[in-house]
Chains A and B, each alone.
Chain A
Amino acid sequence: MFQVARSPAALFRLLTPRGGVLVEAVRGRKSRNDPKAKSKVDRVKLPPPIDPEEMVVLKERYREYDLIVRALRAEFREEVMRRRYEEQVGSRAEERAKREAEEHRALMEWNDRENLRLRQLREVRVQKQVEEEAKRRAEEILLHEERRQCVLKEKEQEILQLQEDVKTFITPENLEQRIEEALDNPKNYNFAIDKEGRVVKRTVLP
């Protein structure tokens, strides 16, 4: 019954005392089973009065109007259908197909040209890459060889050094001789050093 009205409907005060609340009422204040108001019990609702001459004239006018509007509608419908037909099947469709074919051909040509150009670039690039690879590999092999040579040299050096060192080794035959030598020549490893690097060897062995 009391609804929230979007447009301002008829506002009227209910039968409340002073300081009454303004309630916004919507059309159809009464529900189905409410009785008629006393002032409206005898009211007879009649349709609006019409002038018969005017009505005749009006009916004729409406008939003509209707006729013309129906004819217009038919024409518009026909035009819409014709346009649709042309779009899909008729001359416009053919023109469109031709244009699209042209466009397609041109685009394919352009595509082919681009492919060719890129292919050439790619071939050059690939060539360069291959050459670089070969160079790099050659260099690597060289390096490897050099390293191997170095290592070999070092090993040879070590072997020579060892061969020389063998002469100073203590063997069971040298043992006694070397012991005698060591006992005969006592070595003094004690020394003192100051911050300037002057070495002092003055301690005496007992």
Chain B
Amino acid sequence: MNSRTGISKEFSIMVHLSSTLLKRYHGGFVVIRLALGGCTNRPFYRIVAAFNKRARDSKYIEQLGTYDPLPNIYNEKLVSLNYGRIKYWIGCGAHTTKPVAKLLGLSGFFPLHPMTVTEAERKRKQAVLMEAQQVGEGDKEDEQDKEEQEA
């Protein structure tokens, strides 16, 4: 018989860890993220509270909403959020992924994500540049036409 105090070569007890112990042991945490569903060329996301180590689409703890990335006939992207439960999970210490944080920011539950603002600014600058370019090209064409007419 191996004594528990001494060093035993074989394991004297083998135990199945319960979920709390398992979480502690693996250092896992709860995460609010998007789980992908839908069909080919038609994605659809569920906003879901799940353990970090689980696969993206596999068993989750609770569904907290949906996000449809394709715009509908009124050019809207529909998002649903269960604020009460999201509050509960964040109070229990759940992390959020970047897209979920952005969605929450846009909905007003969180402050606006910095990258949303930055991306919007970048797009605006790009749009202004493109307009300037087009205007410049239009001028150039006018000048060319004038030269041809003169010539």
Contacts and interface: CB of A to CB of B under 8 A. Distances in A.
A54 interface: yes
A65 B93 contact: no
B90 A61 contact: no
Given A58-B118, A61-B117, A61-B118, A80 B88 contact: yes
A68 B114 CA distance: 12
A76 B111 contact: no
A73 interface: yes
Interface string A29-60: 00000000000000000000000001001100
B92 interface: yes
A136 interface: no
Given A65-B114, A68-B111, 10 more contacts: A58-B118, A65-B113, A69-B110, A69-B111, A72-B90, A72-B110, A73-B90, A76-B91, A80-B88, A81-B91
Contacts of A57: 118
A156 interface: no
B87 interface: yes
Nearest to A74: B91
Nearest to A61: B114
Interface of B: 87-88, 90-93, 110-114, 117-118
A99 B134 CA distance: 75
Contacts of B113: 65
A133 interface: no
Among all A-B residue pairs, the 5 with the closest Cβ atoms: A80-B91, A76-B91, A61-B114, A77-B91, A68-B111
Contact of B93 (A68, A72, A77, A78): A77
Contacts of A69: 110-111
A54 B114 contact: no
